[in-house]
A and B are shown apart, each in its own frame.
Chain A
Amino acid sequence: MRVPSRETNPSFMSGVPELLLLRLLQDNEMYGYELVQAVQEQTKSAITLGEGVIYPVLHALERDGALTSRRKTVNGRSRVYYRLTELGSQRFADLKGNWSRITDAVSTVLKGAEHGFSV
């Protein structure tokens, strides 16, 4: 995943691709290219993917039982479609909760700094 801050702090975005992919797969089963397009569209290109690297994330999620996959032919093209499992839904809820706590905490600190907060 390539985001503006990635080069200076690669670990900052750790877990974000997983969170986004799980969220997108909550609604529909999708294939890799479709997922990348959806991420770009929904984040208004604030997050763009080094597109091929989402597949290891998808494989790992599937191995953990969060996703299932199947090959499906649509309009003459055969592709691997991914679908969220029950376990994946729970994992998404956990990740979402963690993400909310972190962003709330960071926002609080940033707001404090705007109002003259000092450490």
Chain B
Amino acid sequence: MVFPFERLRDRLLTAGVSPRHVRRYMAELSDHFTDLEAEAKSVGHPEPAARALERLGRPDDLAQAMIARTELRSWTARAPWAVFLLGPPLLLVVIDLISILVMIMIVKTVGPQPGQVAPSWLVSLAAAVNFFHVYAVPLLLGQIIAIVAMRQRMRPLWPLIGLVAICLIASLNYLHVDVPLAQGQHGEISLGASAGRWTAFRVAINLALTLPLYLAWRRWQPAFARPLGY
């Protein structure tokens, strides 16, 4: 018999226990269950699996023992405002800075040589970075919020606030890279925030591509519909 831990896992995650601790707890309980079952079999117990479950502890006790340890709670449970509201914009800044550093390093290393123009792939790379920042980064950050929220079985309030906020901020944020086309020319990197006539449209598109996915995922995730206990 396989240790029936799925409901317990959902209950712990919903209560805010860190996924890392939940994962290990489940693995340890499963190992312990296997040992107890083997022990019950070795002494000829008629129902070794039932005996093993009985010795392991009632689901409520197993859940409460973990939930009561507040120090084992995740950051999403302790400070959801920080994780969903501050985390994604910080990640956006990190992505911006890494992109800038990588582009500078690439241009310094393989930029246009004397008497030559910039390789076409370098121009394409700059265009890809620009495209990535405008279209992909907001979606990426939105999906990260959705994944973290689903992984932790979060209530929707903070993830939704975070999604709306990052869609707005990432739509305002811009990073534009122009590589130097010939030796001696200057490239240009522009980073900042601006609201133009397309901003509202970008916000709407980003929301349309992230929000429904999260809500649908949440709607059909079986954990939310499942009663607690085994």
Contacts and interface: CB of A to CB of B under 8 A. Distances in A.
Interface in B1-51: 21, 24-25, 27-29, 31-32, 34-36
Given A31-B31, A32-B28, A32-B32, A52 B57 contact: yes
- A interface SS class: helix
B72 A60 contact: yes
B78 interface: no
Contacts of B34: 77
A63 B74 CA distance: 13
Contact of B36 (A31, A51, A55): A51
B53 to A, nearest CB: 10
Interface string A18-53: 000000000000011100100000000000001111
Contact of B61 (A53, A64, A77, A80): A53
A59 B31 contact: no
Interface string B40-71: 00000000000000011110011001101101
Interface in A75-96: 77-80
A51 B69 contact: no
Contact of B25 (A51, A56, A77, A78): A56
Nearest to A64: B71
Interface string A63-78: 1100000000000011
9 contacts: A32-B31, A56-B72, A59-B21, A59-B25, A59-B69, A60-B69, A77-B31, A78-B31, A80-B27
Given A33-B32, A51-B32, A55-B24, 7 more contacts: A31-B31, A36-B32, A51-B57, A52-B29, A55-B28, A55-B65, A56-B25
